[in-house]
Amino acid sequence: MVEASVTQLRELALAIPRPGCEWEDRPRFDSPTAPEIVAAFERAAGFPLPADFRAFLASTGGVVGMSVHNGYWLGSVDRLSLSDFPQSAGGESVAPVGTDGGGNAFLLSASGRVWRWDHETGSVSQVATTFAGFLERVVADWAAYVADTPGWRFLV
């Protein structure tokens, strides 16, 4: 499921920059995350990472698509500072697994739920029950962006 979503994101990335939008940068996909970096992130987070997020990190260490709507930065856990973001949401410990271009963050809980933290209000809202489900929603956002879908409500 995660691998299929990453494949779809890679395919959608090929459509960026969109015609007439030469200022857009094509999204970047990092190399897989080394096991020792994953282990260090887990220790810092204080909980084992869900299998679907581990699969994402094994497939691509990160996805950076800052030209897609308000920007998506997923993974790249070696560059995320845990102290910059909330440490709990919904009564669970969380760790950042992504940000957007506006300074908001996506937080992953030990149970696998993904939350969106609004840096301006401090509010936290659940966006998916699993990282794989969150990634599917990101794919839908990117597809809507590439197609210029009117009225689409982006995560970011």
113 pLDDT band (50/70/90 cuts)? very high
Task: Tell me how many domains the chain contains.
Answer: 1
What value does the mean pLDDT take over residues 43-66?
Answer: 95
Q: Does residue 104 lie in a domain region?
A: yes
- Cα–Cα separations (whole angstroms), residue 156 to 47, 70, 80, 137: 26, 6, 18, 11
Q: Does residue 28 lie in a domain region?
A: yes
Write the CATH number for 93.
3.40.1580.10
pLDDT digits (tens, 9 = 90+) for 63-89: 999 999 999 999 998 888 778 899 999
Q: For position 81, what pLDDT does the model report?
A: 78
| Residue 64, domain extent | 2-147
Output the pTM of the full model. 0.95
Q: Does residue 70 lie in a domain region?
A: yes
Q: To which residue do tokens 């969380």 refer?
A: 94
Q: Does residue 154 lie in a domain region?
A: no
Helices (H), the chain: 2-13, 35-45, 51-59, 131-147
Q: Does residue 36 lie in a domain region?
A: yes
Q: Does residue 152 lie in a domain region?
A: no
Q: Does residue 40 lie in a domain region?
A: yes
β partners of residue 99: 73, 105
